[in-house]
Each structure stands twice: as structure tokens, then as C-alpha cells.
Structure 1
Amino acid sequence: MRKYIKSCFYVLLLALPLVNAGAQTIPFFPLDGAPQAPAVPAPQLSTGAFVPLEIPDFAFSGQADIEALLESAIRGSKKSVEVALYGFTLPRVAQALVDAKERGLAVRVLVNESHVYTSRISEQLELLIDKGLELRTLRGAGNYGIMHNKLGIYDGRMVSAGSFNWAVTANLANSENIVFSRDKGVVTGYRKYFAWMWGHARPAGQGPGQPVANYGPPPEDPARTIFYNGALLPAYSFSPAGRTEADILNALNFTRESADIAVFSFYSLDIGNAVVNAHKRGVKVRVLVDRVQASQSEVGALLIKNGVPFRWSQGYAGRGVMHNKYAVLDSKLLMTGSFNWSVNAQQNNFENMFNTADKAYTEAFAAQFERLFLAAETPTSADLEKARLQYQSAVTER
């Protein structure tokens, strides 16, 4: 199987354009003179025998060993584990999935296609394939789409989602978040979404698929039970071609007091203009983005031009990336998930967004935003241009 997978990679090189910016390695540029964030206890990363952990409602990289939480969720499952992953390099989680299969659980693994059909497939994905786990691959819509989810479903009773890629860098360097939900409606929605994706995916042994222009509408939350300042919002939404961008716009338009936004890739001008409009009508808006991603987007310049408080940063350890994709609105609505605020995320990628008005979530994410924003830099338009040129130079030299 491993030889077949690698041979398919060379076919893929000839058949597909290598233009997926979402899969590029991002050059590292150190931040100069960034202020220090308030002290937060460093996570104790597990290095010995497995010790089960209580699964929280949420966690942040740099404050928790999220790999250990995922391992605990898998090892605590009794019947089934379903995961949909953009990339995968977590060794303890890989072994936990293998052990789950050997314990007789129904284990299904869905992976972004280009992470499997590559000469640089991770050891962890190779392990899953070699051990015979049921693994399928999925590509996004059109030429640029990816399967960008980072989610798990455990015994059909609990879901994990958020920005956290199941990767070592996410645990050790990036600024990330993960949420866990046992809400029956949320779990049901994510199970339908996983089944929908699984139906479009291909078994790993079949090789890469052909471009698909349109997968049709993804499942939606029929209840839309979150009441936010007069707007009815769903507890979850999915891509491609779902209503996530419309829900973000709707929420921003109904925001009255504050909007704290931390987004890795902010490319949607429609959402950017909605943020500007909120700022102009007196909403206290603060936007935090990743430094390199910001240099490649028009939105940063738009926000700076209109006086929106705008900062950029990297990962929590002074390296890595600011990889969150969330907003806390009026201190009473949290929107988080894998969904970057971009046209590609809306139209082409497989993505998810988890929404809640639960104070436990909103207060914790608001406090985390405060820490991140305090430690970030405030760039000028000239800084954006300088970073853009640095990025282009680094890409050209590779």
C-alpha cells in the first residue's frame, strides 16, 4: 500500500497544479520588539505511560497538552472514532487510533488528499495505512480547495473541533484552540457532516481523485437556536458552499458593543467591510491576524486605513503561527472552527464552524484574546508592504 500511495504522488504531480496556498510552508520572520504576554503556566507535555485526562469544554495551545486530550478522547471511546484531518503528525494520537481499531472499535479516518499522495507523507499517516485502518482521502472543490477540517467524533456522543491541526507544531508552537461539545444537536450535525464527506471521499488505495466543481450543499443546523441581538444563528455550519460566511456577516451586522477577532487568514473583503462598518457605528473592534498571512491580504490595509485596531503576531512560543479562527462578539457569542475568513474557505474548502453563547466558552476565549492581543504588534501600512516583499522573496528563493 505504501508503495502504491507514493507512486500515486507522481501521477498527482502531473495531473494537478501545485497552487494550493493553504498547503504552503510559511517562511518564518521573527517579530522585533513584541511585548510580552501575561504569564500563563506552560503545559506539562506527556512523555511517559498514558494517563487519562478529563476532557474539558475547550483548551488553548501553550496552556494544555492538546495531544494528550485527543489521546484521552480516543482511548476513552468504547464503540467508534471518526476523524477528519487536514494534516496529521501526532505520534501518541496515531498509536491511540491503531489501538482503538485493535480493540474492535469502528475507526474511520478522513484526510486531505494532498497529505496522502505526496513523497513526504507523515510517518503517522503511513502507520494508519500500514495497520489497515479505514482511511479515505478528500479534496476540496475546484482546483484550489482542500479538506481543511480538524475534527473528531467519539462514540457518536462528543465532538472536538477548532483551529488545532492534529500536528506537532500546533501543540508546541502555534497559537491554537480546540473545543469539545457533548450537545446532542451539535454532535448530530457533525455526524451528518462527516457522513456527507465520507460519501464523497475515496479509499486511499484508489489514488487521487479528479477536480470536482461542486459537491452540493452540506448539512445545516435546522434549528438555528442561538439568539444573538435579534439574529438567529446556527450552532454549527459547514463548507464548501454552506452559510458560514453569511452567518459571520449576519453576526457582525447585529453586533452592538464589541468584536474581538483572531483569524489566521483574513482575505474576505465582504467580511472586512462588515468589520469596518461595525467600527464606524461605534462597535469596539479589535482584529488579530497572523503576520505572514496578513502581508498577503488586502484586508489588513483596509482595516488600517479605516482606523480599525489591528495587530499581528506569531505563535505562542515566539515562533509558529497565530492559527486561531475565532471571534467573540458582544462578549456573548463565540464563533470558532477551522474556517478562515476567506472566499476559498467558503466556496472550495471542507470547513466547519462551531457557535455558542455559553458563558464558559465566551469568557475563556475573550480572556485568551486579551492575552494574545496584548502580546501582538501594531503594524503600519509600510510594515504590511515590507512583510509582503519579504514573503515573496523567500518564496522565490525556495
Structure 2
Amino acid sequence: MRAPLGIIATALGFGILAAACGDAGVGSNEDDATSIPYAEGSPEAQAIRAVANDQELGVEQYDSSDVVGLHKKAAENLVAHRDGDPNTPDDDDFFDSLAELWTVPYCKTSCMHSLLDYAKQTGVYGGNENISVIFSPQSGQETHLQGIADAIDDEADETIDIAMYSYSHQEPVKGALIRALDRGVKIRFLANTDLANSTSKAGALEQLGIDVRRVTKIMHHKFAIIDGPRDAQTLDRAADTFIVSGSGNWSSSAATIYDENTLFFTGYPEMALRLQRDFDYLWAGSKDVVHVEGLEWDQTTGNITDELIAQHEDANTHAYLTSFNFAPTSSQGWSVLGTTVVTDALVEVIGGAQSSIHIASGHFLNEPIADAIGKALESNPNLYIDIVLDCQETSKSGTIATLKNKIEDLGGTIQYKCNTYRWHYKFAKQMHHKYMIIDGEDLYTGSMNFSLNAEINTFENMMLFKGEEHRALVDSYLVNHDMVRSYGYDSDALTALMEEIETGSTVPLTWYDPIAMDLDTFRDMKDAIRDRCPATKSWLDTPEAKTYNALFNSQPHWFDECHTEGYAWPEVPVDMRIE
């Protein structure tokens, strides 16, 4: 059963406002969806949907001029669409997009304006103008890559420090970096080893004059520090530093295919100092991969101390960093200290959860975290647990599988975002978030997957945002979580997929629109596929199964569907088929 947004989100309250009640766009005759006044995925759209989906608001509140102030028919139709039969909670149909809200009779332009006005009045929208988030996937000018390019163009005057796992050297970020260099901005780029070794990416950056270096551990950060406190004479500008950070790499897949979140913020001096110190620490212990001779290893001259950070301490934010689990060696390597500082912090807050825990993550392999969730459920059976993972996690076994089973047995929900029978990165529209929300109020988000490997073998970050000034931000993540856990619900996509699997002449092994499903449902789907297409049973000693097993990893596009008549894999060249 899907959790009502009004339960899982921070309560909106019934603030007093003078709602816009003009006639324009009230009637049901304004059907052209191109007239929707706000862009899908924008902060305004997220706030409008949060108010429309809040089940603490009923017809009376939506209709009242002292609360939301909708046309009465708009209020009635909105609630009827969202709640369905009030005696049947399973038929709730929350709004996943403004386009869906636009289909509600009498809820057009002025309706959306009134919903947004209420969001502004109650702090759901615009609670803190210094921070915003872009959720992927998006398209065109709405992507996080465009947001990054805009931030570089608008904010970078002197320096940019980038720590990045994966980067595509293409527009719009490429152009923004070139323009920054033309303005005299100094840019340093700390890359993961594979990226640092790439001549088409790191090599191209160095051709522009950007020094690219690597560390000998996995460098999994995805942040940029613009005009940061990196030198002795600039330590006092931490409050004006602009930061970009989140789950999304700077790649087209992260922009337009995967589920990601990317934060843009300024006015957070403690966060700026912590991230700058972490970058400087890794940069000092980095190694060069020389694509272009003569680039200067531009070292930081500032000294960011614990005492300096304490002067800017903010009880409602923090940056947890796995770099505290390592120490640099004399050979520019890193020794493992055996600590798990980020996991320890997350386990502690999980143990203190009172009402709910929401997680969206690509991986969920951190046994202490999974164990902590199970123990929290044991001590508080009413705790609401809702976890959404990437489909690749369906194959995990051993202790983590046992711990996940325990969470579900105790009443927690775990779903997997899937669009393929057999996972491959070239097919997968990945769940790539790495966030957790405690009690609908405290947001933890960053680059770190919920895996112990991320803690002990990888440089990562996990950021905390809480408090009234971050209420709108946290609510936007709750709206996003409700969306990702609901993939395929409204269109009944799973039923349609199963019908195609069971009756079609070709069996789909990938499908365009992802579906969120629990593990038992996914396994039932796999069994149905194997029944119709025995060639997918890679363990069988048949020519078609051996061909599938031998070639899938290198040529996955040959296996996006299975033919039930004739040869199962007609896309495989004849001379490549195993007899």
C-alpha cells in the first residue's frame, strides 16, 4: 500500500493567505497541456504537487478562501482524483506530474497559482532561497548539467575545485568551463582513476589548461566548490562560496536517464569549509596523470582548522566525509584506519527515528545500516520504513538479503526500480539516488551509496539538512520519493508487461518505462520470462542459452527481446552463435 504523502511529509498546517481567485483558467475548457504555467520538475512544480498530494487537506480546506482558495469544483475534483473511494485507501492516485494535475476539471492555471501561493505561505516553497535541488531525469534546459553550467557562468570569479567520479566532456558544462578559463578562473579537477586516464575526457580538460589528478582509492564525490576558501587570503569568503553536490555525475545519463538529485547552495560557510578542506586533503595526496606537460600542481595555501570551522558551526547542517577513514602515506597512497565514521552516524540517527525512514539508493549493502533499521522496527513496530533501490540489488544474497527480509517481515517496504530482466548498465534506467529522510524532517544526501564498500574503500560525502529553513527542501525530497516508489502504478504497467510476457510472440527483456516492484513480484516476472523463453536460462547446456550467457555482457543489445518462434536471438550474427 502506498503511504499518503500527508503522513510521510512534514505537516503543512493551515496558514492564512489571500489566495488568487481570478477567473482565468478556472474552467474545464482549458485543455491544452502546453499552457501549464510551470515547468515539470521545477521547484514550483514540486511545491504544487506537494500541496495537491497532501491528504491533510480536504475539499473544505482547498475551497476555503482563508486556506488554499480553489474554485469549489476544482477542490472537489482534485480530492476525488487523489483519494478515490474514501473507504478504499488502496485506490489513492497521487499526482506524479503537473500534466496529471492538469487533467483535473477546473484545476488549470489559476488553480495551480493558488496551490503555489499556499505552498509559499506555509514554507513548502521558498523556505530558503540559498538552496535548491534539481531531480533527474530531466531534459533540455531543465537538467542538472544546465544548472551546473549556469552556476559556473554566474558564480565563478576566481576558482573552481571539482571532485568528480564520472564526467562527459560535452556541452553545456564544457562550454561553461571554457568561458570560466577565459575569465581567468583557476580550475582544479580531482578525478577517479578511470576518468583521469581518459584522453578524451581528462586529456581534453588538460588541453584546456585544467590540471587533472587522481587518488589511489575510488574517488566517488560529485561536487564543485566555486570561489571557495582555498587560500590564506580567501578563508573569509566561505559564506559566499557556491557549492554543487549530489548523487549525479556530470554525464548525460545522470541528466536524462537516471534518478538523481543535485543540490545548488550558497551561504553555508561550515559546509564550504568542510568540503574545501576535504578537497585540499585529497588534492595534496593525489597523483598526476600527465596528458599535457607543464601544468602546475596548484597547491592550497590556506589552513582550514577545526577551530575555524567551529566558528561557523550550524546545528542544522553537516558534511560527513569518509576521508576520515584514511590516512595519506609517503608514497601518495592511502592507508585504511578501520573506522566507519559515516555509517556510525547514520546508524545512530536510524536508531533515534520516531515515525518514518525513507531511503532511495542505488545500492543497499551496508549491513550495519540494514541491521539498525531492523532493530528500529523491533523497538517501534509503528515505524514507517519505505526503501526504493535499483534493480541490480534484486540479485544480492547472503547476510544483506537476510537483513532485508527481516525489514520486510517486520512491516517495512522495499521496492526495486526495474526496466530489464537481466541488469546491464547499458539498459538500466538506474535508481542512482543516495538519500535518507528521518521522520520527514532530517535529510541525508550525497555521493555515498548505502554500502560498506563505499565507507571503507571510497572517498564519499553525506550531507545533512534539517530545521525549519530546510522544510521546503526536505518536502521536495519526500515528493520525489513518492514518485520513484510509484513507477508504473498509474498506468498499471506491470499488468500490461506480464500480459505481453505471457502472450506475445516476442518476450520483452527490457521495457522503456521503469516499474517499481517488490522482490517477490520481480521473481515472479523472471519466472514467467524463463517459462516463455528457456534460452534465458543461462545455466542450461543448450546452444541458445550458451549464446546468451557468453555474449550478453559484451553485446547486451542483441538480447533486448526473446523470440518464441524460430531462433530466440535473431539479432545475434550467425557466425557468433554457439552451436
TM bucket by the smaller chain? 0.7 to 0.9
What are the residue-to-residue correspondences of 1:237-316 with 2, within 5 Å?
237-240=320-323, 241=325, 243-280=341-378, 281-282=380-381, 283-296=383-396, 298=398, 299-307=400-408, 308-314=412-418
Asked whether the 8 Å contact 1:338–1:353 carries over to 2, the reply is yes
SS at match of 2:209: coil
Pairing 1:71–2:149 present: yes
Over alpha carbons, which structure has the higher Rg? 2
1:164–1:65 distance in 2 versus 1, CA, 3 Å: same
Count of aligned residue pairs for this structure pair: 326
Question: Structure 1 residues 397, 204: CA separation in 2 closer, same or farther (over 3 Å shift)?
Answer: closer
Tell me if the contact between 1:161 and 1:354 (Cα under 8 Å) persists in the aligned partners.
Answer: no
Check conservation: 2:244, 2:263, Cα contact below 8 A. Answer: yes
- Deviation, 1:371, is 0.7
Deviation at 1:343, TM superposition (A): 1.3
Instruction: List alignment gaps of at least 5 residues for structure 2.
Output: 1-92, 101-128, 229-240, 293-303, 326-339, 420-426, 488-515, 528-535, 540-548, 555-579
Could you give the per-residue CA deviations for residues 216-274 of structure 1, whole angstroms, max 9, x where no partner exists? xx9987687547xxxxxx61111141611111101100101000011111111111111
Instruction: Summarize the alignment of residues 229-244 of structure 1 with structure 2, pairs less than 5 Å apart.
Output: 235-240=318-323, 241=325, 243-244=341-342
| Contact 1:90–1:168 (Cα < 8 Å) also in 2 | no
Question: Displacement of 1:132 after TM fit?
Answer: 2.2
Pairwise CA distance, 1:131: 1.7
Deviation of 1:127 (Å): 1.7
Please give the secondary structure, in 1, of the residue aligned with 2:432.
coil
Counterparts of 1:364-383 in structure 2 under 5 Å? Answer: 364-375=476-487, 376-380=516-520, 383=523
Residue 63 of structure 2: aligned partner: none
Say if 1:128 and 1:342 are closer, same or farther in 2 by CA, change over 3 A. same
CA positional deviation for 1:397 = 4.8
CA distance in 2, matches of 1:253, 1:368: 24
Cα distance in structure 2, aligned partners of 1:347 and 1:55: 33
Q: Map residues 72-221 of structure 1 onto 2, 5 A cutoff.
A: 72-76=150-154, 77-91=156-170, 92-117=172-197, 121=198, 123-140=200-217, 146-156=218-228, 157-182=241-266, 183-205=268-290
Counterpart-to-counterpart distance in 2, 1:60 and 1:198 = 29
TM-superposed CA distance for 1:360, in Å, is: 2.0
Aligned to 2:458: 349
Paired position in structure 2 for 1:11: none
Partner SS for 2:157:
coil
Contact 1:304 1:381 in 2 (8 A): no
Displacement, 1:206? 8.8
Partners of 2:195 and 2:201 within 8 A in 1: no
Of 109, 128, 135, the residue aligned with 1:60 is: 135
Partner of 1:26: none
What is the distance in 1 between the residues matched to 2:432 and 2:305? 26
Q: Identity across aligned pairs (percent)? A: 22
C-alpha displacement at 1:123, in angstroms?
3.1
- Superposition deviation, residue 124 in structure 1: 3.6
Q: Is the CA contact (8 Å cut-off) linking 2:374 and 2:406 kept in structure 1?
A: no
Corresponding residue to 2:449 among 336, 340, 349: 340
TM-score (norm 2): 0.52
RMSD value, Cα: 3.3
Contact 2:274/2:319, CA 8 A, preserved across alignment: yes
Deviation readout 1:52-94 (Å, 9 max, x if unpaired) = xx98511101353111000011112111111000010151212
Give, in whole Å, the separation in 1 of the partners of 2:401 and 2:195.
30
Aligned equivalents of 1:188, 1:131: Cα separation in 2? 28
Offset at residue 396 of structure 1 (A):
7.5
For the 8 Å contact 1:159–1:180, the answer to whether it is kept is yes
Deviation of the 1:173 alpha carbon = 0.2
The alpha-carbon deviation at position 162 of structure 1 amounts to 1.0
Question: CA, structure 1 residues 147+390, in 2 after alignment: closer, same or farther (shift >3 Å)?
Answer: farther
Q: Deviations over 1:30-65 (max 9, x none)?
A: xxxxx99823579xxxxxxxxxxx985111013531
Cα deviation, residue 377, structure 1: 1.1
Q: Measure the CA separation in 1 of the matches of 2:372 and 2:403.
A: 11
Contact 2:270 2:314 in 1 (8 A): no
Distance 1:135 1:352 in 2: 20
Q: Secondary structure at the match of 1:135?
A: strand
Residue 279 of structure 1 and its aligned partner are, at CA, apart by 2.3
- Where 1:360 maps in the other structure, the secondary structure is helix
Shift of 1:339: 0.5
In 2, Cα distance between the equivalents of 1:384 and 1:109? 46
The verdict on how the C-alpha distance between 1:292 and 1:96 changes in structure 2, with shifts beyond 3 A counting, is same
CA distance in structure 1 between the partners assigned to 2:186 and 2:319 by the alignment: 25
Structure-1 separation of matches of 2:352 and 2:538 = 36
CA distance in 1, matches of 2:283, 2:551: 35
> 5+ unaligned residues in a row in structure 1: which ranges?
1-34, 43-53, 141-145, 208-217, 228-233
